[in-house]
C-alpha cells in the first residue's frame, strides 16, 4: 500500500515538473475578465475576433504605460459600462448578488444546527 | 408534403390519446383492482403517434421538403445527409418534438417496468405525467408547430447554422433530453406518492432507479455539451459559466442532492419533505432552463428564434405546474414527526445533510448568478455581466470543506460513528497539503486558495483511491463517483494553472521560434466540399522535449448561410492537448496563429465519465 501511494506521488511530481507556468499572466488575467462585445458569450482572452485582438493590444499598451489592473478595469468600465467586466464587483447594484448566496448558506447551516439542538 | 400532413395529424391524435388517458385514469382510479389494459395500450398509442410524427419530420428533412416551414428555415439541399437528419432537432420545433417523444417514451417504460407498487400510484403518476405531456402537445401545436406550410414552395432552404453542423449535434441534445425528461418522471411520481401518502423507504428504493437514470444521462449530456464547447471556437472553452451552461447545471445540482437524500430515505423515513421539494425543484429547474433559453431572454446558440409568445406560454405552464405541486405538497404531505430522526452528530446522515447544505449553496450561487442580471436589467435597466470570476470567487472557497466532507462522509456509519484509523486520515492530509504546497510554490502562482483547494482535492483523491483496494469497503459505486469528482477538480485546477499559449502572425513559409517551441507554417491547401470551401493550413510544431507534431487548422467558408468559421486542430494525448487555431488578418497574407498547450484536458472528460460510471454501477447493483 505504502509503495503504491509513493509511486503515485512520484508520478504526479514528474508530470508536474514537465508543465510550464503561464507567462504573461497579468495581461491574460485582465483579458479573461473582459467581455468580447461583438462575440456571443466569450471573453477577450478566448476570442480571436478583430475587436478582441485590438482590445488585447490596448491592454498591453495600458500595462506598458504602468497602469494597474484596477485602473485598467476602471478605464474600460468608463468607456463601455459595467457590461464589459465579467467580474461584477461589489457596488450598490450587486450587494444582493454577492450576499444572497452567502445568506442562504448561513440560513441552511442554521437549520441543520437547530435540528441537532432541538433533539437534545 | 404528405409527410407534413401525417406528422401534423399524428400530433393531434397523440394529444387526443393524452386526453383519453386522463379520462381512463380517473375511471380506473375509482376502481382499482387492476391496471386497466386500455391505459397501457393508449400510452403505447400515444408514443406511437409521437414517433410517427417525429419520423415524418426526419423524412421531411431527408427529402428536403421545403413546403415545410421548419425544413425551409433549417435545411438546404447541399447539406450532407447526416446533418439533414441531426438537423431535425437542431431547431426549436424539432427539439421540442424530440422532448415530447422522450416524455411519452419514459412514461410508457415507467408503466411497463413498475411492479410491486400500488395500482393507484401508477395511475396517479401517469395522470400527472399526462398533464405535462398535454401541456407540451399544446405548446407544440399552438406556438411551434413543426409542420407549418410555406406557400409558394421555395426552391431552396435557408440552411443550418454552420456552428451546429457538427457530429455532436446528433448526440448532445438527445442525451441531455433523456436527463431532463427523466426528471419529469421523478416529479410526477413524487406528486403521486405525496397524494397517496406513500413517501416511504420502498418508494425510495423504487424511484432511485429513475433518479439514477436521469442523473447519468444529465451528466453525460452536460459532458457532451462541454466537449463540444471546448473544440468549437467562440463558445468560451469547456465551461464558461455561460447562462445556457448554468441552466443545465442547476437541475444537475438538484438531482445530485436528491440522489443523496434518496440514499437516506432508502433506509429511514426521514427527510421526506425535503425529498419531495427536491423532486419538484429538479423538474422545475429543467423547465426554467427551457423557458430562459427559448424565450430569447438569454441569447445563445440554443435560442433558435426569439418569440415572446413561446416564452409566455412556457412561463404560464411553469407557474401552473409549480402551483399544482405546491398545492399537493401543502395539502397532502404530512411530516412523520414520530419517526426516529435521532442520529448522532457524527454519522452518515449528518454527512449527507452537509452534502445537501453545500449543494443547495452551489445551486443558489448558480441560480442567482444567472437570473440576477436579468432582473437588474428589468428593474433598473443597468446591464451587468456575471461571469466566471463571480462563480470562482463564491464556489472555490466552499469547495474546500465540501471536498473534505466528500472524503470522510462515506466512511462514517449510519446513526452513530466515530473516527477510525485517525493516523491514516491525518497522514494523508499532511501528504496532500505538502504536495500541493510544492506544486503551487514551484510555479509561483502564489495564491493561498490554490494550495488549499488542491490539497483538499488531493485528499479526496487519495482516500478514494485507497478505498478501491480496501476489501472491507464495499460501496464501489459511491467510491467511483467521488474519485471521479476529485479527479475532475484536480484536472480543472491543473489545466487552469498550467495552460500556456503562443499568439503570433505568420505567413506561409515563416517560422516562429522561442526557446521552447518552434512553429513552422509549412503550406496551405484549399478544398471544396459540398456545403463549404475550406482553407487548410499545415503547421509543423516541435518543442524542446523533442516531440514533433503536424497540425492542420482550417477556415471554412460555408455557402448556405454564408458564414466563415474557424476549425481548431487538436492533438489529444493522455497528458495534454495541443490546440491550434488560425484566423485571417484583414487585407494581408498573414494569418493570426494561436497555439495553446492545455494539460489534463483528457482527464477532465475521463473523470466525468467516471462520475457517471459510478451512477451506472449503482443502477445495475442489486440492493444489499
B237 touches chain A (CB under 8 A): yes
Distance CA B323, CA B455 (A): 45
| pTM, full prediction | 0.91
Q: What are phi and psi of B598, to 5 degrees?
A: -120, 105
Helix (H) or strand (E) holding B569: strand B569-572
Q: Which three cell numbers stand for residue B619?
A: 443502477
The answer to whether B434 and B459 are in contact (CB under 8 A) is: no
Among B109-113, B267-271, B429-433, the range of highest mean pLDDT: B109-113
Q: B387 and A35: CB-CB below 8 Å?
A: yes
Share of chain B above pLDDT 90, in %: 44
Scan residues 371-400 of B and list those with Cβ closer than 8 Å to A.
Answer: 372, 376, 380, 382-390, 393-394, 398
Q: What is the DSSP string of B484-538?
A: HHHHHHHHHHHHHHH-EEEEEEE-TT-EEE-SSEEEEEEEEEEEE-SSEEEEEEE
Per DSSP, the three-state class of B576 is strand
Averaged over A92-119, what is the pLDDT? 88
Q: Is the pLDDT of residue B6 over 90?
A: yes
pLDDT winner (highest mean) among B186-195, B226-235, B421-430: B186-195
Lowest mean pLDDT among B48-62, B338-352, B508-522: B338-352
Identify the pLDDT of residue B217.
Answer: 96
Could you confirm whether domain A23-87 is CATH 1.10.8.640? Answer: yes
What would the pLDDT profile of B375-416 be if each residue is shown by its tens digit?
898 888 888 889 898 998 899 888 988 998 888 888 887 777
Q: What are phi and psi of B558, to 5 degrees?
A: -80, 150
Q: Residue B418 CB: number of other CB atoms within 10 A?
A: 10
Name the residue in chain A with its Cα closest to that of B379: A93
pLDDT above 50 (res A41) = yes
Cα B195 from Cα B526, distance rounded (Å): 66
Q: B586 CB contacts (<8 Å, ≥6 apart)?
A: A50
* CA atoms of B92 and B88, how far apart (whole Å): 9
Domain spans in chain A, listed from the N-terminal domain onward: 23-87, 90-120
For residue A88, the chain B residues in CB contact (below 8 A) are 384-386, 390
Q: Do B431 and A88 touch (CB under 8 A)?
A: no
Cα(A62)–Cα(A75) distance, integer angstroms: 10
Cβ contact B512:B504 at 8 Å: yes
- Are the CB atoms for B260 and B356 separated by under 8 Å? yes
Overall size of chain B counted in residues: 624
- The tens digit of pLDDT for each residue in B51-100 reads 999 999 999 999 999 999 999 988 988 888 999 999 999 888 898 999 99
> Minimal Cα–Cα distance from A5 to chain B, Å?
8
Q: Mean per-residue pLDDT for B168-190?
A: 93
What is the band of A20 on the pLDDT scale with cuts at 50, 70, 90? Answer: very low
Helices (H), B233-384: 243-265, 272-294, 308-332, 348-380
Collect all residues of chain B within an 8 Å Cβ-Cβ radius of residue A109. 357
Amino acid at each position: 500500500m505504502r509503495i503504491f501511494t509513493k509511486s503515485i506521488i512520484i508520478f504526479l511530481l514528474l508530470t508536474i515538473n514537465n508543465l510550464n507556468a503561464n507567462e504573461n499572466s497579468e495581461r491574460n488575467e485582465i483579458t479573461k475578465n473582459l467581455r468580447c462585445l461583438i462575440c456571443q458569450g466569450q471573453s477577450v482572452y478566448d476570442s480571436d475576433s478583430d475587436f478582441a485582438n485590438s482590445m488585447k493590444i490596448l491592454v498591453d499598451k495600458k500595462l506598458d504605460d504602468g497602469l494597474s489592473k484596477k485602473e485598467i478595469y476602471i478605464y474600460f468600465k468608463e468607456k463601455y459600462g459595467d457590461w464589459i467586466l465579467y467580474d461584477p464587483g461589489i457596488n450598490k447594484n450587486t450587494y444582493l448578488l454577492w450576499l444572497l448566496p452567502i445568506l442562504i448558506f448561513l440560513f441552511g447551516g442554521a437549520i441543520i444546527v437547530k435540528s441537532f439542538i432541538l433533539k437534545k | 408534403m404528405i409527410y407534413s400532413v401525417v406528422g401534423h395529424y399524428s400530433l393531434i391524435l397523440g394529444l387526443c390519446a393524452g386526453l383519453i388517458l386522463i379520462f381512463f385514469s380517473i375511471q380506473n382510479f375509482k376502481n382499482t383492482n387492476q391496471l386497466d389494459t386500455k391505459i397501457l395500450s393508449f400510452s403505447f398509442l400515444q408514443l406511437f403517434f409521437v414517433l410517427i410524427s417525429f419520423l415524418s419530420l426526419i423524412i421531411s428533412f431527408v427529402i428536403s421538403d421545403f413546403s415545410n416551414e421548419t425544413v425551409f428555415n433549417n435545411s438546404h439541399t447541399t447539406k450532407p445527409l447526416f446533418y439533414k437528419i441531426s438537423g431535425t432537432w437542431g431547431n426549436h420545433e424539432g427539439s421540442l418534438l424530440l422532448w415530447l417523444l422522450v416524455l411519452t417514451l419514459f412514461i410508457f417504460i415507467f408503466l411497463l417496468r413498475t411492479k410491486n407498487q400500488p395500482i393507484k400510484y401508477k395511475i396517479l403518476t401517469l395522470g400527472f405525467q399526462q398533464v405535462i405531456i398535454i401541456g407540451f402537445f399544446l405548446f407544440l401545436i399552438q406556438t411551434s408547430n413543426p409542420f407549418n406550410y410555406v406557400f409558394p414552395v421555395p426552391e431552396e432552404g435557408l440552411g443550418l447554422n454552420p456552428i451546429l453542423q457538427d457530429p455532436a449535434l446528433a448526440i448532445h441534445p438527445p442525451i441531455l433530453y433523456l436527463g431532463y425528461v427523466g426528471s419529469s418522471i421523478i416529479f410526477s411520481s413524487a406528486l403521486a406518492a405525496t397524494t397517496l401518502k406513500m413517501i416511504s423507504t420502498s418508494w425510495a428504493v423504487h424511484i432511485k432507479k429513475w433518479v439514477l437514470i436521469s442523473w447519468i444521462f444529465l451528466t453525460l449530456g452536460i459532458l457532451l455539451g462541454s466537449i463540444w464547447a471546448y473544440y468549437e471556437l467562440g463558445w468560451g472553452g469547456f465551461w464558461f459559466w455561460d447562462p445556457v451552461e448554468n441552466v443545465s447545471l442547476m437541475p444537475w445540482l438538484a438531482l445530485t442532492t436528491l440522489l443523496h437524500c434518496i440514499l437516506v430515505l432508502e433506509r429511514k423515513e426521514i427527510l421526506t419533505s425535503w425529498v419531495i421539494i427536491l423532486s419538484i425543484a429538479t423538474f422545475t429547474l429543467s423547465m426554467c432552463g427551457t423557458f430562459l433559453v427559448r424565450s430569447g431572454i438569454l441569447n445563445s446558440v440554443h435560442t433558435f428564434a426569439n418569440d415572446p409568445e413561446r416564452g409566455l406560454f412556457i412561463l404560464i405552464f411553469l407557474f401552473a405546474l409549480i402551483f399544482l405541486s405546491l398545492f399537493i405538497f401543502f395539502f397532502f404531505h404530512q411530516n412523520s414527526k414520530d419517526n426516529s430522526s435521532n442520529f448522532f452528530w457524527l454519522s452518515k446522515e449528518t454527512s449527507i445533510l452537509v452534502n445537501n447544505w453545500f449543494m443547495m449553496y452551489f445551486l443558489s450561487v448558480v441560480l442567482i448568478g444567472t437570473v440576477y442580471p436579468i432582473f437588474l436589467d428589468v428593474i433598473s435597466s443597468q446591464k451587468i455581466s456575471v461571469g466566471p470570476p463571480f462563480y470562482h470567487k463564491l464556489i472555490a472557497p466552499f469547495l474546500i470543506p465540501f471536498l473534505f466532507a466528500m472524503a470522510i462522509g462515506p466512511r462514517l456509519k449510519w446513526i452513530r460513528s466515530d473516527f477510525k484509523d485517525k493516523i491514516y486520515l491525518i497522514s494523508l492530509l499532511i501528504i496532500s497539503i505538502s504536495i500541493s504546497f510544492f506544486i503551487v510554490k514551484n510555479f509561483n502562482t502564489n495564491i493561498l486558495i490554490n494550495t488549499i483547494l488542491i490539497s483538499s482535492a488531493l485528499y479526496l483523491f487519495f482516500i478514494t483511491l485507497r478505498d478501491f483496494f480496501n476489501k472491507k469497503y464495499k460501496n464501489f459505486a459511491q467510491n467511483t463517483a467521488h474519485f471521479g469528482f476529485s479527479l475532475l477538480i484536480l484536472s480543472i485546477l491543473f489545466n487552469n494553472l498550467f495552460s500556456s499559449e503562443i499568439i503570433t502572425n505568420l505567413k506561409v513559409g515563416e517560422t516562429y521560434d522561442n526557446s521552447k517551441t518552434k512553429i513552422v507554417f509549412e503550406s496551405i491547401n484549399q478544398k471544396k466540399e459540398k456545403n463549404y470551401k475550406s482553407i487548410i493550413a499545415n503547421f509543423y510544431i516541435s518543442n524542446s522535449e523533442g516531440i514533433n507534431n503536424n497540425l492542420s487548422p482550417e477556415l471554412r467558408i460555408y455557402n448556405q448561410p454564408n458564414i466563415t468559421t474557424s476549425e481548431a486542430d487538436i492533438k489529444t494525448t493522455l497528458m495534454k492537448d495541443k490546440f491550434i487555431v488560425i484566423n485571417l488578418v484583414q487585407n494581408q497574407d498573414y494569418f493570426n496563429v494561436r497555439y495553446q498547450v492545455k494539460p489534463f484536458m483528457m482527464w477532465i472528460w475521463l473523470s466525468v465519465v467516471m462520475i457517471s460510471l459510478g451512477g451506472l454501477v449503482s443502477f445495475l447493483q442489486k440492493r444489499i
